[in-house]
C-alpha cells in the first residue's frame, strides 16, 4: 500500500503548523521525518494515520493492505503503551481480541510475531520485569500482530539509552531485511534517520516545510555505525537543520 501526501497544510488556531507538505511512502519503504522540536512531525503522523484531518491538502492511500491486515496503519509510540497488568502475550492478545481473534487463532499469531521479534522466551513476562528496550520490542511485536501495511512510528527509540537504541536499530534493520515492512518514522535523531531511512524528509522549524528529501541508496544491512558515507550524510543533513534547530530553540526560549 502506498501513502501519498499532497500539499498538506495545517494550522491550530493562529498557529501555522505545517505548510505545503508533499511526499509519498511506497510499499516496503522506511521514510523518516526529521525536524526541530515543535515543527509538526507528530501532527503529520496523525494525518497519515487518519487520526486528524489537515486543514488543506490530502493524504491518499493507494493499493491494498497485506492480506488479513486488521489495522493497515498501526502506531508505535515512544512510551511503549503496554498494559502493566498483562503479560507480553497478554498485551499482544489484547489487540487481537479487539478484532475478535481469540483462542487457537490468536495463539498462532502471537507465536508467529514473538518468533519474528525473537521474544518467544519472554511471552509470560510482565512489563515491569522488562527493560525499556524489551518493552519497545514487545510494542513492535504487538504492532506486527495486526499485519499493518505501514507502521507509524513516533520517536520509538527516544525513551531509550544510546546502547539500547543501537540494539533496537539493529533489530529493526534485521526485521526489515527479512520482511521488508513499511514505516513512516518520526525522529529528531539524525543518526537514527540515516541508519533506518530509505528516504529522509527534512522539515524546517514551525511551520514545518520540506527543506529537502534525502534519498539513501545504501542497503540498510550495510549501514554500520560510523560508516564514513553515513557520517558524511549526517553532517550534510545537519547543515540543513542547524539554523532551523537554533531558531526553533530560540522560539521556545522566548515563550519561557
Ligand X SMILES: Nc1ncnc2c1ncn2[C@@H]1O[C@H](COP(=O)(O)OP(=O)(O)OP(=O)(O)O)[C@@H](O)[C@H]1O
41 binds ligand X (CB under 6 A): yes
Single residue of 8, 29, 43, 151 touching ligand X by CB under 6 A: 43
Q: Closest Cα to residue 74, out of 26, 165, 145?
A: 145
Q: Closest Cα to residue 149, out of 7, 12, 37, 28?
A: 28
DSSP category for residue 182? -
C-alpha cell at 114: 514473538
The nearer residue to ligand X, 173 or 210, going by C-beta atoms, is 210
- Looking up cell 555505525 gives 225
107 binds ligand X (CB under 6 A): no
CB of 120 to ligand X, least distance (A): 34
Q: How far, in Å, CA of 113 to CA of 141, rounded?
A: 6
49 binds ligand X (CB under 6 A): no
Binding mask 173-212 for ligand X (x = CB under 6 A): ---------------x-----------------x------
72 binds ligand X (CB under 6 A): no
20 binds ligand X (CB under 6 A): no
C-alpha cell at 180: 521488508
42 binds ligand X (CB under 6 A): yes
Distances 222 to 2, 110, 156, 167 between C-alpha atoms, Å? 25, 30, 22, 15
Q: List residues near ligand X by CB under 6 A.
A: 12, 15, 17, 35, 37-43, 188, 206
Amino acid at each position: 500500500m502506498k501513502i501519498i501526501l499532497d500539499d498538506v497544510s495545517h494550522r491550530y488556531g493562529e498557529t501555522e503548523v505545517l505548510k505545503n507538505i508533499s511526499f509519498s511512502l511506497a510499499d516496503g519503504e522506511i521514510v523518516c521525518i526529521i525536524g526541530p522540536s515543535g515543527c509538526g512531525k507528530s501532527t503529520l503522523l496523525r494525518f497519515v494515520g487518519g487520526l486528524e484531518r489537515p486543514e488543506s491538502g490530502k493524504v491518499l492511500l493507494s493499493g491494498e493492505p497485506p492480506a488479513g491486515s486488521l489495522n493497515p496503519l498501526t502506531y508505535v509510540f515512544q512510551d511503549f503503551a503496554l498494559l502493566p497488568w498483562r503479560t507480553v502475550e497478554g498485551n499482544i492478545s489484547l489487540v487481537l481480541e479487539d478484532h475478535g481473534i481469540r483462542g487457537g487463532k490468536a495463539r498462532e499469531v502471537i507465536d508467529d510475531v514473538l518468533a519474528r521479534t525473537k521474544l518467544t522466551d519472554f511471552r509470560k513476562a510482565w512489563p515491569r520485569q522488562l527493560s525499556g528496550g524489551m518493552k519497545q520490542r514487545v510494542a513492535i511485536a504487538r504492532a506486527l500482530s495486526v499485519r499493518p501495511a505501514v507502521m507509524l512510528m513516533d520517536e520509538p527509540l527516544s525513551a531509550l539509552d544510546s546502547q539500547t537504541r543501537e540494539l533496537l536499530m539493529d533489530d529493526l534493520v534485521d526485521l526489515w531485511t527479512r520482511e521488508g515492512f513499511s514505516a513512516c518514522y518520526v525522529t529528531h535523531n539524525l543518526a537514527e534517520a540515516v541508519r533506518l531511512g530509505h528516504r529522509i524528509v527534512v522539515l524546517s522549524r514551525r511551520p514545518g516545510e520540506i527543506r529537502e528529501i534525502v534519498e539513501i541508496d545504501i542497503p540498510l544491512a550495510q549501514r554500520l555505525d560510523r560508516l564514513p558515507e553515513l557520517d558524511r550524510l549526517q553532517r550534510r543533513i545537519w547543515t540543513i537543520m542547524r539554523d532551523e534547530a537554533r531558531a526553533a530553540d530560540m522560539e521556545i526560549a522566548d515563550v519561557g
